[in-house]
Amino acid sequence: MTTATPSPPLADPTSRDERAALASRIRLSCMRISRRVRFESSSTIAPHQFSVLCRLSDQPHTPRELADIERVSAPTMTRTVAGLVEAGWVSRADDPDDGRQVILSLTQGGERLVHETRQAREGWVAQRMEGLTDDEIEVLRHAAVLLERIANE
Amino acid sequence: MTTATPSPPLADPTSRDERAALASRIRLSCMRISRRVRFESSSTIAPHQFSVLCRLSDQPHTPRELADIERVSAPTMTRTVAGLVEAGWVSRADDPDDGRQVILSLTQGGERLVHETRQAREGWVAQRMEGLTDDEIEVLRHAAVLLERIANE
DNA sequence: TATTGTTATACTCTATAACTATA
DNA sequence: TATAGTTATAGAGTATAACAATA
């Protein structure tokens, strides 16, 4: 596309290879941070269970909705939800308008668990950011916008 | 620690809360990017299998070493390795010095799979970086160093 | 006796198929 | 007839316990 650009840029324009190398570094860092946060921010709860609790912390959902969101089958979600209810983190309520449906919400204990787990995870990153200078924090502040764009695009 | 600092800084010094909020954004972005890369960079292979292939792409290992590295039990690694051997991605060789041990290496097909999967994953990120300006790339270049520090600390 | 690797067995998460109740 | 949810059943990944071969 830019092949026909008349004046060649003077300051190093990031080449295709350089961008690819940078993409590789960004990906590796993100995956490693993600992995370490999951493994090292304790929380005894299983990943698929916690993921459901996070969805319910936004708003109540039916099992069908959760199954679609989490990309699992309905029977799998039935089982997952049963475990969360038994553990006291999720409560069930009949839908007043549709007798087939069930409405799932977080209990107080469930909300507390989500809050505490999120705090622990943020703490893991925050702790490793403590050694950074204000300039470096500024770099991360700008980078956060870009990472969010990449994550959500 | 810095409570006794005599002259209050004029330009915004990142407060504790601001750093915590930034840590939260960084964590969320990294976990979402990691998740999407795993889900959307196809590769039919299961995560635990691919993880083992990556270890073997660095150097050969015994099942015992792989079990320790991957934090799974020896029988689980026996099963995982059996699947990888059956799929033609890993080959077994007797250790000449210790009759109890087995040395596992990648086959050519295994190396190809690792290479292709890594390329697909990098491509996912690279594609979403295409819209960035050179200035934004520069921000990410600086941020990559910091993310790597956080990931490996 | 300790270590490597495997086999035996059981539990959990996952899926598809079949069933019940409601719309 | 279609949809929400559950139950029945099976396959894959995981673990612990028990075993064989080697150090």
3-state secondary structure chain B: CHHHCCCCCCCCCCCHHHHHHHHHHHHHHHHHHHHHHHHHCCCCCCHHHHHHHHHHHHCCECHHHHHHHHCCCHHHHHHHHHHHHHCCCEEEEECCCCCCCEEEEECHHHHHHHHHHHHHHHHHHHHHHCCCCHHHHHHHHHHHHHHHHHHHC
Question: For residues A146 and A89, is the Cβ–Cβ distance under 8 A?
Answer: no
Is pLDDT above 60 for B4?
no
Is pLDDT above 80 for B38?
yes
Q: Which nucleotides of D are covered by protein (CB under 7 A)?
A: 3-9, 12-18, 21-23
Q: Give how far Cα B78 sits from Cα of A35, A108, B49, B60, Å.
A: 23, 43, 12, 15
A90 to chain B, closest Cα gap in Å: 24
Interval B133-143 mean pLDDT: 97
pLDDT at residue B44, rounded to an integer: 83
Is pLDDT above 70 for A41?
yes
Interval A84-112 mean pLDDT: 97
Is pLDDT above 60 for A5?
no
pLDDT at residue B12, rounded to an integer: 59
Place B139 in a pLDDT band, splitting at 50, 70 and 90: very high
Strand C-contacting residues in B 20-39, CB cut-off 7 angstroms: none
Instruction: Give which of A50, A129, A133 to mutate to test B binding, by max B Cβ within 10 Å.
Output: A129
The dihedral formed by the CA atoms of B111, B113, B118 and B121, expressed in degrees to the nearest 10? 180
Is pLDDT above 90 for B6?
no
pLDDT at residue B43, rounded to an integer: 74
**Do B30 and A30 count as a contact with CB atoms less than 8 A apart?**
yes
Mean pLDDT rounded to a whole number for chain A: 92
Q: Give how far Cα A54 sits from Cα of A32, A60, A121, B61, Å.
A: 22, 11, 13, 38
| A75 Cβ within 7 A of any nucleic strand D atom | yes
Interval B125-136 mean pLDDT: 95
Place A7 in a pLDDT band, splitting at 50, 70 and 90: low
Question: For residues A103 and A95, is the Cβ–Cβ distance under 8 A?
Answer: yes
Interval B109-124 mean pLDDT: 96
User: Is residue A115 exposed (0-12), middle (13-18) or buried (19+ Cβ within 10 Å)?
Assistant: exposed
Interval A32-55 mean pLDDT: 92
Interval B141-146 mean pLDDT: 98
Per the structure block, which two tokens stand in for A16?
A: 């295709």
Residue B152 vs residue A1, higher pLDDT: B152
